[in-house]
């Protein structure tokens, strides 16, 4: 596998913890960046990108990730393989569950990258999510508020699929 950069935005630490677990699962070659300290040149260094944000407000991107969107827009991501993950709360925010991940997916359209790592919505209960496209999540959805007991298992299964879908 070629190089992997994991970029996350996290306000209360959940997405950060998930990012580090993904790194651990993928092995030492994966580098982790907190997005407020990252630039478009950091994104461009890697063949594979894994981008993670939580969702705040009502369906808004996490603050630091919001600021990072201009770097994603400016970056040349052509030919890269990208996987997405997001943290949210399906009970309290059932209409906007992990919408932030959907916004990142939207920003990657027409960037010339290949998006991998879509997951089933089975096992979640929510009304609406911008992160669901063609009946699947566009990436890995984690709910530490209501289903923290499933987090390790979900991450492990996702990382296994990434091992064969990252380039």
Ligand X SMILES: Cc1cc2nc3c(=O)[nH]c(=O)nc-3n(C[C@H](O)[C@H](O)[C@H](O)COP(=O)(O)O)c2cc1C
Using CB under 6 A as the criterion, which residues of the chain lie in contact with ligand X when the complex forms?
A: 10-15, 54-59, 62, 87-89, 93, 96-99, 144-145
- Closer Cβ to ligand X, 41 or 91, answer by number: 91
**Minimum distance, C-beta of residue 110 to ligand X, in the bound complex (Å):** 26
Where do we find the tokens 């923290």?
A: 148
**Minimum distance, C-beta of residue 127 to ligand X, in the bound complex (Å):** 11
The helix (H) or strand (E) run that includes residue 101 is helix 99-108
> What is the rounded CA–CA span in Å between residue 44 and residue 113?
12
| φ, ψ (nearest 5 deg) of residue 111 | -95, 0
Two structure tokens written together for 62: 């996490």
**Minimum distance, C-beta of residue 51 to ligand X, in the bound complex (Å):** 13
**Minimum distance, C-beta of residue 61 to ligand X, in the bound complex (Å):** 10
- Closer Cβ to ligand X, 58 or 153, answer by number: 58
- Closer Cβ to ligand X, 27 or 57, answer by number: 57
Q: Which residue number places its CB atom closest to ligand X?
A: 88
**Minimum distance, C-beta of residue 93 to ligand X, in the bound complex (Å):** 3
- Closer Cβ to ligand X, 81 or 103, answer by number: 103
Two structure tokens written together for 109: 């359209």
Q: How would DSSP label each residue in 41-96?
A: HHHHT-SEEEEEEEEETTTEEPHHHHHHHHHHHHS--TT-EEEEEEE--TTTTTTS
- Closer Cβ to ligand X, 3 or 145, answer by number: 145
Q: What is the CA radius of gyration of the chain?
A: 14
């Amino acid at each position: 596998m070629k190089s992997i950069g994991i970029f996350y935005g996290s306000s209360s630490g959940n997405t950060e913890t998930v990012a580090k677990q993904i790194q651990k699962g993928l092995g030492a070659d994966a580098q982790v960046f907190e997005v407020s300290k990252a630039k478009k040149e950091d994104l461009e260094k890697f063949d594979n990108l894994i981008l993670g944000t939580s969702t705040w407000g009502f369906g808004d991107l996490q603050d630091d990730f919001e600021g990072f969107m201009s770097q994603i827009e400016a970056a040349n991501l052509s030919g890269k393989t990208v996987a997405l993950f997001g943290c949210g709360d399906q009970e309290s925010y059932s209409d906007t569950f992990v919408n932030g991940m959907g916004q990142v997916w939207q920003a990657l359209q027409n960037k010339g990258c290949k998006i991998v790592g879509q997951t089933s919505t089975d096992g979640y209960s929510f009304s609406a999510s911008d992160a669901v496209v063609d009946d699947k999540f566009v990436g890995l959805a984690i709910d530490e508020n209501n289903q923290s007991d499933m987090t390790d298992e979900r991450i492990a299964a996702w990382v296994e699929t990434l091992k064969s879908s990252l380039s």
